[in-house]
Amino acid sequence: MESRHPPQADSGSQPDPVPSLGRAAGVALRWNGAAALMTLGSQLVQILVLARWLTPADFGLAGTVLGVTAFLSALSDLGLTNALVQRDALSHRAWAGAWWASAAAGMVLAVGLAFAAPHLETSLRMPGTTLLLWAAAFSLPWFGPAAVYQAHLQRHLQLKRLASVEIFAAAIGLLVALTWAWWRREPMALVAGQISLSLARFGGLAAASSLRVGQRPHWAELRALAGFSGFQLAERVASHALANLDRLVVARFLGPAAAGYYYMASQIALKPTALLGPLTARTLLPLLARIRGDRARTASSYLRTLSLLSFSAAIVYTLLFGLAAPLVTLVLSAKWQPAVVPLQFLAAAGFLMVLGNALGNLTLALGRAGTGFWLVVLVLVVRLGAIAVGATYGLLGVAAALLLVTLASLVMDVLLPKLWLGIRIRDLLRAGGWTVPAVLVSGAGMMVLCNWMRLPALAETLIGGAVGCALFALVAVVTQGARVRASLRELAEKLVRPL
C-alpha cells in the first residue's frame, strides 16, 4: 500500500533503491491502465456527442487550434520532466528550479500565442481561429508545472495518486465540453474542455504530490539536467510536430471541412496510441531507468513489454480497421462517412506507432536523449515531404503518406535495441510482430463480412466484431499459442496481484 508521506529521497545524494520490477510494473499497469481507460472513455463520449452537435468544419477549426496548443505545450516543461525521472539522485532545489522554469516558459508561450493568433489565422486561411487561439492560450501556463508534479509522483512510484488525478481531470474536461456544447453549438466547446482539463490536472497533481516549491527559484540546480533536458526538449518539439503537423497541413491546403474529417479520423485511430504512449512511459521509463545498469534484465523487460504492447494494440486496432465503416455511421452519424478510409489507413499506422513507443522510452531510460532527438528529426523531415506530396491527393493521400513513413521508421525500432542491448533482430521481430497474422486475417474478414451483410450499422458492428474477435483468437492460438498464454498470464498477474 502506498504511503501518504513518501520519504524525501530526492533531497539526498544517494540514488533511489531499485524496486521489485514485477510488482512495480503490476502496480503501474493497473493504475495507469485505469487512468488510460477513463481518459479514452471520456474522450469517446465527447466525440460521440459533439460529432452529432457540431459540423465537420467546426471540428476542423477546433482541431487546428488544439494542434497548435498541443505543439506549444511540449515546450512548456523545457524537457526537464523526463530528466527528473531519469536521474539517479536529485536535490529538492532541482525540483523547485524545474517548477519555476516550467511556469515561466508557460507564461511566455501563452503571451506569444496570443500575439501570434491573428497571423496564424491568416497563414492557415481559416477565419475564426483567432478567438479560439486566444482562449486556448490560457491552458499553456499550467502544462509545465503539472508535468513537474507528475514527474515527482512517477519518481516515487505514487501511481495510484497519479492515476486518480488523470481520471478526475478527464471527467472535468468532458463535463465542461458537453455543457458548453449544449449551451452553444460551436467549436469553442472543444477548446473549453481542454482548458478545464489542464486546470483540473494542475490542481490535482499539486495536491497529490508531496513536492512543495519554495518562493525562490534555484536556477543553478538545473545545470545538472541541462544536457539531457536540452536534447529531450528538442526531441519533444520534433515529436509533437510529428503528431500535429498533418492536421495543420490538411487545414491549410484542404480547408476546414476536410480538416474536420481528418481530425475525427486521427482522433479515433491515434487515440489508443496517444493513451498507450503515456501509459508505457509512466510504467516503463521509471523502471528501466532504475535497472539500466543490468543489460540482460533491461533486454528481457524490453522484449516482454514489446510483446504485451503488440497483443494489446492488435486487438484494438484490428477492430478499428475492420469495422471502420459501420462504426463511423453508428458512433458519429452518416455525415462523417468521408472519414472512413483515412481512419483505416491511420489505424494501421497507429498499431505500428504503439510498438515504436517502447523504443522511445528505452532511449530515455538509457540516457540517450540525443539519439532520440536526431531520430525524431529524421522522421519529421521525411514525413514533411511525404505529407506535402500526399496532400495533393486529398485526405487519403495524407493518411497513406503517414502510414508509409511509419512503416519505414520501423527499421530503427529493430536496429537500435540490437545495438544497445544485444537483442537479436529475430527476437525483436517475434516480440513486436507475433500478432500480425491474426491482425491481417481478422481485419480482412471483418471488412469482407461488413461489405457483404448490408445490415444496419449496429448489427454490422456487433456481428462483425464477434466474428473478428473469433478469427483473431483462432489465428493467434494456432500460430502463437505459447505467446498468447504467456501474455494473458502476465496481464492477469499484473492486474490481479495485490498492491
Chain segment 385-403, per-residue pLDDT in tens = 888 888 888 888 988 998 9
Position 259 pLDDT exceeds 60: yes
Helical packing angle, 340-365 and 395-421, nearest 10°:
20
Task: Determine contact, residues 258/124, Cβ cutoff 8 Å.
Answer: no
Task: Determine contact, residues 364/285, Cβ cutoff 8 Å.
Answer: yes
**Residues belonging to the chain:** 499
**Set of cell numbers at residue 205:** 497533481
Q: Which of 366, 393, 211 is nearest to 284 (CA)?
A: 366
d(CA 344, CA 324): 7
Give the range with max mean pLDDT: 4-8, 209-213, 449-453.
Answer: 449-453
Helix (H) or strand (E) holding 258: helix 223-291
b/e string for 122-161 if b means 16 or more Cβ within 10 A? eebebebbbebbbbbbbbbbbbbbbbbbbbbbbbbbbbbb
- What are the Cα distances from residue 85, in Å, to 94, 176, 238, 365? 12, 32, 21, 9
Q: What share of the chain is helix, strand, coil (3-state, %, to 5)?
A: 85, 0, 15
Q: Strand, helix or coil at 320?
A: helix
Q: What is the dihedral of CA 467, 469, 474, 476, to 10 degrees?
A: 150
Between residues 89 and 125, the one the model is more confident about: 125
d(CA 473, CA 243): 32
Residue 12 — pLDDT band, cuts 50, 70, 90? very low
Between residues 56 and 37, the one the model is more confident about: 56
The tens digit of pLDDT for each residue in 63-110 reads 889 888 888 887 787 776 766 666 656 677 777 778 888 888 899 999
| Region of poorest pLDDT, from 244-248, 252-256, 369-373, 431-435 | 369-373
Task: Determine contact, residues 261/56, Cβ cutoff 8 Å.
Answer: yes
Position 419 pLDDT exceeds 50: yes
Between residues 227 and 415, the one the model is more confident about: 415
d(CA 382, CA 367): 25
Helices (H) and strands (E) in the chain — how many of each? Answer: 17, 0
Between residues 78 and 452, the one the model is more confident about: 452
Q: How many CB atoms lie within 10 A of CB 465?
A: 18
Q: Strand, helix or coil at 158?
A: coil
The tens digit of pLDDT for each residue in 312-340 reads 889 889 999 999 999 999 888 888 999 99
Q: What pLDDT score was predicted for residue 11? A: 42
Q: What is the pTM for the complete model shown? A: 0.74
The tens digit of pLDDT for each residue in 141-178 reads 998 889 888 888 877 767 778 888 888 998 999 999 99
Position 182 pLDDT exceeds 50: yes
